[in-house]
Amino acid sequence: MNIFLIVLVLIVISAEVARELCFKLGSDASIKDKHFIRIIFKPIIWLGFTLWTIQLLTWIFILQRAPLSLVFPMLSLSYCGVVIASHFLLKEKISFKRGLGVILITIGVAIISNTGKF
């Protein structure tokens, strides 16, 4: 497996996790604002859109160089990242079942990534 592509996949996963945190923080800060227009003009929401753009461009670059059936399952690690980031940054609790799900996803990605070559 090409280390450069692995790093790019990690960038995509990190951008997705950070994007979701931006959207969550932007929406939480706006609960009292019932107007959608006020929400979408918050700087943290625009940071989320910027991360989304970075993620998209990086993902297209990856898809030009790697099989979809190999790299797409790796994106499921973003679910794990969101759970872990939410626990540490948003103080959300991780239940046993949710923690087990994170472990199973990680094991699944490890198995799939060892089945193919870039």
Q: Is residue 118 part of a domain?
A: no
Residue-wise pLDDT tens digits, 88-107 = 999 999 999 999 999 999 99
Q: Is residue 89 part of a domain?
A: yes
Q: How confident is the model at residue 115 (pLDDT cuts 50, 70, 90)?
A: confident
Q: Is residue 27 part of a domain?
A: yes
Q: Between the CA of residue 59 and those of 29, 33, 35, 53, what are the distances in Å?
A: 30, 34, 33, 10
Dist. CA 106–CA 10, nearest whole Å: 13
Token pair in block for residue 16: 């997705």
Q: In the prediction, which pLDDT does 46 show?
A: 96
Which residue's structure tokens are 């970075």? Answer: 54
Q: In the prediction, which pLDDT does 5 show?
A: 92
pLDDT mean over 76-87: 96
Which residue's structure tokens are 């948003």? Answer: 90
Residue-wise pLDDT tens digits, 14-66 = 999 999 999 999 886 556 656 777 788 889 999 999 999 999 999 999 999 99
Q: In the prediction, which pLDDT does 72 show?
A: 93
Short-list 8, 24, 2, CA closest to 75: 8
Token pair in block for residue 36: 């959608």
How many domains, the chain? 1
User: Is 0.85 topped by the overall pTM?
Assistant: yes
Q: Is residue 32 part of a domain?
A: yes
Q: Which domain holds residue 104?
A: 3-113
Greatest alpha-carbon span in the chain: 50
pLDDT: is 14 or 112 the higher one?
A: 14
